[in-house]
Structure 1
Amino acid sequence: MPTDSSSGQRGGPDVAGSLRHAPVQERGRRRVQQLLDAAAEVIAASGVDNATTNAIAARAGTSVGVLYKFFPNKQAIVEALALRYIGEIEQFLSRQEQAGIAGWPLEEAIDWIVRAIMDFHRTHPAYQHVYRAVRGASGERGVLLLDQARRVIGHLLALRMPAVPAERLEWHAITAVEAAHALVVHAFILPPERGEKLIEETVILLTRYLSPDYAPHTDAS
């Protein structure tokens, strides 16, 4: 089973909000990232409910006491993982923004984003477990995670069509994120050919939904 990548700028500023003790030395920061890597592996294998702090500490090669030095409980670990995932998604969407995705034909842009999220599921097998756990949480940070996902897509939509009213754009972003995530999760568990077909249908659905406001007449399908 592939494991979550530990490369890049993981654990950005938002992750610190889930920590009991934010490390100031590089050694401590590395330990936090090792714990998050271990948590991702344990959650990918057994899900959030069955993951334990003892199992996470053991996978990280440390004691549960060290884990509790940084994280007050398992929920804080899950939230930190969720925020790390959002940071990574924001990074690759930002790179694509710099490549001009906001000016692409709408269907082409949606296809790229949906397939990029599908690839993210493949390379981060704990992601769907973490997303579901945070989505079901009632805490402030769970809401923050969902808001961040919608904000990223809303930003790209606003770049395409700045004249769309803010409230209307917000609902477009919410609907697109929720629909895309649900369908991608389902596609991920299907046999490859059926999964590919569902991805294609997802792109068609989102393109038709967003075209009236975000596709110029020469772009709309």
Structure 2
Amino acid sequence: MRRAPTQKRSRDRVENILKAACELISASGSDTMKMGELAEKAGVSIGSLYQYFPDKASIIHALAERYNEESQHCLDEALADVTTQSGLIAAFDQLIDTYYDLFLAEPVICDIWTGTQADKTLRDMELEVSRANAQSLVRTILRLRDNDGDGATFAARCLLIMYTGEATMRLAISVPASEGREIISSYKRMMGRELSEMLQV
């Protein structure tokens, strides 16, 4: 963002802009969204829109950051109460299913993440999110192992799990639903074996 909102009125204006952007993207995709159209839908002047978002890419990035924060919160919450190997794998499987259903239900998320590879900023953001999520997974694994294990090795393996998960989601939502479900199931089976191996003391 060009200007971070500090007052409630400004924060409300930004929220309204992002809400309008979501509606436009859901209707016809981000490629066709125009800044003038967004300003009109959000009920703000084009000058006010540019005060906060200098271009369309900055709006996409703001929405991506929001979804990333939500996904990290969901992951941390799901892992917080895990106490067993089977519990971790069950929680991981549930998260993958939840993310896949969310991607299918939210056109905005699909729009953002199918275009990730074409935008270096979004690619870098995805990697950082994968690293943060991987660290949450590492902490859980080490907790279940009573801190017995190589955290650095686990970190690399968990990063692979998380980053591959993002790529799996993009593939799964780009094919017919029946094929997508099988891709998700295969990913869960493969990662379940990887998690089980890391949990062996």
User: TM-score normalized by structure 2?
Assistant: 0.82
Structure 2 residue aligned with 1:34: 16
Structure ranking higher on relative contact order (CA contacts 8 Å, 6+ apart): 1
8 Å contact kept, 1:158–1:164: no
Structure 2 residue aligned with 1:127: 109
Is there any run of 5+ residues in structure 2 with no aligned partner, and where?
A: none
Counterparts of 1:143 and 1:159, CA distance in 2: 25
1:37-71 C-alpha deviation (Å, 9 max, x unpaired): 22223233433333222232233233322210111
Q: Say which of 130, 142, 151 aligns to 1:149.
A: 130
Instruction: Indicate whether 1:160 and 2:141 are aligned.
Output: yes
Paired letter, 2:112: V
1:171-204 C-alpha deviation (Å, 9 max, x unpaired): 2233212322222233334444333322211110
1:108-129 C-alpha deviation (Å, 9 max, x unpaired): 1221121121122134321132
1:77-111 C-alpha deviation (Å, 9 max, x unpaired): 1111111011111222232233x136451431221
Structure 1 residue aligned with 2:170: 185
8 Å contact kept, 2:78–2:91: no
1:108-123 to 2 correspondences below 5 Å: 108-123=90-105
Structure 2 residue aligned with 1:173: 158
**Structure with the bigger percentage of helix:** 2
8 Å contact kept, 1:21–1:69: yes
Moved over 4 A (4+): none
Q: Say which of 79, 101, 105 aligns to 2:61.
A: 79
Q: Percent identity?
A: 26
Structure 1 residue aligned with 2:200: 216
The answer to which of 190-199 and 203-212 deviates more is: 190-199
Counterparts of 1:205 and 1:29, CA distance in 2: 43
Counterparts of 2:55 and 2:49, CA distance in 1: 9
Structure 2 residue aligned with 1:3: none
Alignment root-mean-square deviation, CA: 2.5
Q: Give the number of equivalent residue pairs.
A: 196
Paired letter, 1:154: Q
8 Å contact kept, 2:138–2:155: no
Pairwise CA distance, 1:145: 4.2
8 Å contact kept, 1:183–1:202: yes
Is there any run of 5+ residues in structure 1 with no aligned partner, and where?
A: 1-18
Instruction: Indicate whether 1:67 and 2:49 are aligned.
Output: yes
User: TM-score normalized by structure 1?
Assistant: 0.75
